[in-house]
A and B are shown apart, each in its own frame.
Chain A
Amino acid sequence: MGIQDTGKYRLHLMLCAGTACVSNRSFEIKKAIEAELKKHDLENEVAVVLTGCNGFCAVGPVMTVMPDEIFYHSLSEENIPHLVEEHFLKGRPVKELMFTPPAEESVVPKMSDIGFFANQTLVALRNRGLIDPENIDEYIARDGYRALAKALTEMTPDEIVEEVKESGLRGRGGGGFPTGLKWSFCRGAEGEEKFVVCNADEGDPGAYMDRSIVEADPHSVLEGMMIGARAIGARNGHVYIRAEYPLALERLELAIEQATEYGLIGENILGSDFNFHIHITRGAGAFVCGEETSLMASIEGRPSEPRQRPPFPAQSGLWGKPTNINNVETWATVPVIIDRGADWFRTLGTEKSPGTKVFSLVGKIANTGLVEVPMGIPLRQIVYDIGGGIPNGKKFKAVQTGGPSGGCIPAELIDLPVDYEHLTEVGSIMGSGGMIVMDEDTCIVDVAKYFIEFTNDESCGKCSSCRDGSAALLAILERICAGQGRESDLQLLEDLCVAIKDASMCGLGQTLPNPVLSTLKYFKEEYEAHIIHKKCPAGVCKALFKYKVDAEKCKKCGVCFKNCPSGAITWEKKQVAEIDQDKCTKCGICQEVCKFESIVKE
C-alpha cells in the first residue's frame, strides 16, 4: 500500500500540508528536510509526516516536532539546514523559528502552551496535525472505525438514531437543524432505496472548515456517513465537493481507496450484513449548489436550481428517493458521538447547542486560522484569547458571522455567547462557521456591498425577488459608496430586504439581505455619514475621502512625489508636496511611503 510506517523513528516531524501551507511550499520543505537528514545520516531516525491543516494558518508553513511538541512556524527552505543540524541532530530546538504570541515577549516552544491552541477543544478536528491523512492505519490507531464497529455489531439502526438524537447534535452547515431528528425522518420514510449525502460545497467566502476536515482527516467523514447510512438504511453515499478543492478531493479519493482495500467500504463490512458504496461528484463553481435541492439537482446532472420544499429530501431526494444530507463537519462529529456516547457530547457546549463548532477566524485578527471551540463560549475569548486581538493597535469594530447569509455583531456585544440562539437573537446566524473580524479601518457599508455583490452574482436567477432584488440592493449601495446616497435610501433598503426575504424560494435569496439588515441595525450612523455627510469614516470608499498633505508635518523630502504612479503630486526641492485631487486615484501609495506620517485621509 506504500504507507509509511513511522513506528521505528524517534522523532516525528508533523509538517502541515493543508492547501495554504502547500501553496507556501510545504512539499518543497519536506524535500529539503529529507535531503538534510540524509546528509547527517538521520534518515532512519527522523520521519517527516505530512498532515492536514493544523489550523494556525496565519503563520504557515507550520511544523510540530513530536514527542516534545515543539511548534515551529513560517518555515522556508533556507531555515532547513540550520534546523536539522541544531534540533534534530544536536537536540537544541531553534528559538528563532518558534512562535511568540502577540501579547508575550518571548517564544512559547510547546504547542499546547500557545494560547491559540490551548484554548481550543477539538472534536471534529480531533486528529488534525496528528495523523498522516494518507495513511488509514494512523486513523484506525486513534480509535478510527471503532464507532462503525460498535454501530454495526452492538447497536440496532434505531438505537443509532436515538443516540444521535440524545446528543442534541445540530447541523453544522448553518441550518442548525437537529441531526438525529432529520435522520429519523429519513429512516421512517417509505422506500427501499435511500441515500446519504455529504455537502462539501462550502461556498461562503473565507470559510474553509470543511476543506480542512477533508484534507486533514477524510476518514472521519467517511465513517460518519457509514454510520448514518446504517441508521437510515442506505446502501450508497454521495459526496458533493466543490471543484476548487483539488487537494481535498485527492485525499478523499485516496481515503476511499484505502478503506475499500481494507473492506471497510463494499460488501459485508466488518463481517456484518451492511453493504455501502460511495461516489464523488465535483461541483462546478456555483454557490447555489450549497443549497440542498440545487446540490441534488447537480448530482443528478440537471441544472442546479432550487425547488420547492416540501417534499423535503428526507421523503424525496436524489432521484426521488429518501435522502439524508448533512455537512462535512456534522458527519465528522458523528463517530465521536457513537464512540463516546451522547452523554459525553452533552458535557460540551450549552443545553440547546451541545458540542463544539469549528470557525475560520479571519480578517483583522492577529492569529488567523481554524479554531474549534465549545458552543456558548463568549465571543471575547475567541477574538482575544485565541485570536490574539486586533493587530497594529487598531480598535475592534465588529465580527461578521455566517458569511453572505449572516450579519455583523458589533463591538459592544463582545460578551455574547456564541451559539445558535444568541447569534440569531442579535440578527446574525451561526452559518457554516466563517468569522470575519473587522477593525476601525473597515467600512461597514462597503462590507454589506461586498456580500450583496457576491450573492447577486451567485443568484441562480429563478426568483425575481432574489435576482432583481439583489441587483437593486447593489445599485443602491454602490450609489451610497459613490457619494450619491439619498436620505430615502435607508428606508428603501430596509423595505427591499424584507420583500426579498419574504418572496424568495431558497435560502440564498431568503438570507442575502441579512448583512444589509444587520449593518443597518447596528451601524446606522455609518450609513448616515455616507448618505448625509458624504463621508466614509473608515476611509475606504474612494469617492468619499481625499488624501491630503499636512503642510506642517511635511518634511519636503519628495518621496511621495517619486512614488506616485499617477503623477498626481507636485513637488519641488524644499517645497511642501501637493496632491492634485483630479489626478489622484486614491491608491494610497503616498501614505505608505511617507516616513513622517504627513499624508492623511480626510
Chain B
Amino acid sequence: MPKLSVEDLAKISERVRKTTLLRDGAGRAKITVHMGTCGIAAGARPVMSALMQEVEKRGIQDVILTNSGCAGLCSREPMITVEIRDEAPVKYVDLTPEKAIKVLDEHVIGGNVVQEFVLARGSEKEA
C-alpha cells in the first residue's frame, strides 16, 4: 500500500463520499422506490436493481436511493417518488426498469420532469 500524500486524503474522501452523504442524510436528490407487497408483486425489485446498477455504473455520488412502503395507489405500481432538494416531490407510475432509468437520466440528472410517466406533483396533506 503506497504511503499517502496530502492530496490522497481528499481522493479517499471523494471515493467514500457516497457513504458519507448517505449517512449524513444529505444528497442533492432522493429517489424512493415504493415497495409494499403490491409494488413487489408488480415488479418494483427489478426497478430498484436497475436504478442501483445505473447509479453505480455512472459513478453518481449525490443521489440517495431508498425504499418505502406502499404509496397507496396500488393499481399503478411500480411507482417511484423523486425529490430534488428545494423542489416539490414528483410521483411516477407504471414504471419498468427502462422507464426508471429514463427518469433518472432526464429528471434527476437533467432536471426535466418526464411528463409521460408522471402521476402528480406535490405531497398528500397530513391529518
Contacts and interface: CB of A to CB of B under 8 A. Distances in A.
A144 B64 CA distance: 23
B6 A271 contact: yes
B52 A149 contact: no
A258 to B, nearest CB: 9
Contact of A7 (B6, B16, B67): B16
Given A149-B6, A262-B1, A263-B4, A11 B23 contact: no
A211 interface: no
A153 B13 CA distance: 19
Contacts of A69: 25
Interface of A: 1, 6-8, 10-12, 14, 41, 44-45, 66-69, 88-92, 130-131, 137-138, 140-146, 149, 153, 261-264, 266, 268, 270-271
A283 B35 CA distance: 52
Contacts of B68: 91-92
A270 B6 contact: yes
A67 B36 contact: no
B3 A67 contact: no
B75 interface: no
Contacts, number: 105
Given A90-B37, A149-B6, 7 more contacts: A7-B19, A44-B52, A89-B35, A91-B66, A141-B20, A142-B20, A263-B4
Interface in B1-46: 1-6, 9, 12-13, 15-20, 22-25, 27, 30, 32-37, 40, 45
Contacts of A45: 48-49, 52
A11 B66 contact: yes
Contacts of B25: 66-69
B15 A8 contact: no
A270 B5 contact: yes
Contacts of B2: 263
A91 B36 contact: yes
B63 to A, nearest CB: 10
B4 A66 contact: no
A7 B55 CA distance: 11
Contact of B15 (A12, A137, A262): A137
A130 to B, nearest CB: 5
Contacts of A7: 15-16, 18-19
B52 A10 contact: yes
B34 A138 contact: no
B69 interface: yes
Contact of A141 (B3, B19, B33): B19
A199 B77 CA distance: 59
B74 interface: no
B65 interface: yes
Nearest to B1: A261
A142 B14 CA distance: 10
Nearest to A267: B3
Contacts of B67: 10-11, 88, 90-91
Contacts of B17: 141
Contacts of B126: none
A262 B6 CA distance: 11
A260 to B, nearest CB: 9
A270 B22 contact: no
A293 to B, nearest CB: 37
Contacts of A140: 9, 12-13, 16
A137 B67 CA distance: 27
Contact of A10 (B15, B23, B66): B66
A90 B15 contact: no
Kindly name the residue among A88, A91, A271 whose own CB sees the greatest number of chain B CB atoms within 10 A: A91
A138 B9 CA distance: 11
A84 B67 CA distance: 13
A67 B27 contact: yes
Interface string B64-90: 111111100000000000000000000
B37 A12 contact: no
Interface string B102-119: 000000000000000000
B36 A92 contact: yes
B126 to A, nearest CB: 15
A8 B18 CA distance: 8
A8 B52 contact: yes
Nearest to B30: A67
A142 B68 CA distance: 28
B56 interface: yes
A91 B32 CA distance: 10
B36 A270 contact: no
Contacts of A41: 45
A67 B19 CA distance: 10
Nearest to A144: B9
Contacts of B1: 1, 261-263
A79 B41 CA distance: 24
Contact of B22 (A67, A92, A149, A261): A67
Contacts of A66: 22-23, 25
A270 B48 CA distance: 41
A59 to B, nearest CB: 21
A91 B6 contact: no
Nearest to B12: A140
A91 B35 contact: yes
Contact of A146 (B9, B22, B52): B9
Given A1-B1, A137-B15, A149 B9 contact: yes
Contacts of A264: 4
Given A90-B40, A262-B4, A141 B12 contact: yes
Kindly name the residue among B23, B45, B64, B65 whose own CB sees the greatest number of chain A CB atoms within 10 A: B23
B19 A10 contact: no
A141 B19 CA distance: 9
13 contacts: A8-B52, A12-B23, A45-B49, A68-B66, A90-B36, A90-B37, A130-B23, A137-B16, A138-B16, A138-B19, A141-B15, A143-B13, A270-B6
